[in-house]
Amino acid sequence: MTRYETLLRDALVEEVGTLDTRAAEQLIHRGLLNRPACERLVVWREVARLAREGVPRCEALVVAADLLCCSYEKARGLFYGK
């Protein structure tokens, strides 16, 4: 699995709670996930985690973009639902 797929898998497992890692990997490999929704979940979780640590939202979005290996604009769009 790529780093990107691992991020999506971990976010999915945490969100669902009853889904195990292996099942999440199968869903990803078979293309049965809404990737933008999973990306949005990753961005939201990372920004929320950093906000609890006192990091300003703009800086948290930069970190989330680095985590997903995407642009700040994409992370911002995922966060704000655009």
Give residue-wise pLDDT tens across range 13-34: 998 888 888 998 898 889 888 8
Instruction: For residue 30, report the phi and psi dihedrals to the nearest 5 degrees.
Output: -90, 0
Using one digit for the tens of pLDDT, what is the confidence trace for 37-49? 889 999 999 999 9
Transcribe 16-79 into DSSP letters: HSS--HHHHHHHHHTT-S-HHHHHHHHHHHHHHHHHHTT--HHHHHHHHHHHHT--HHHHHHHH
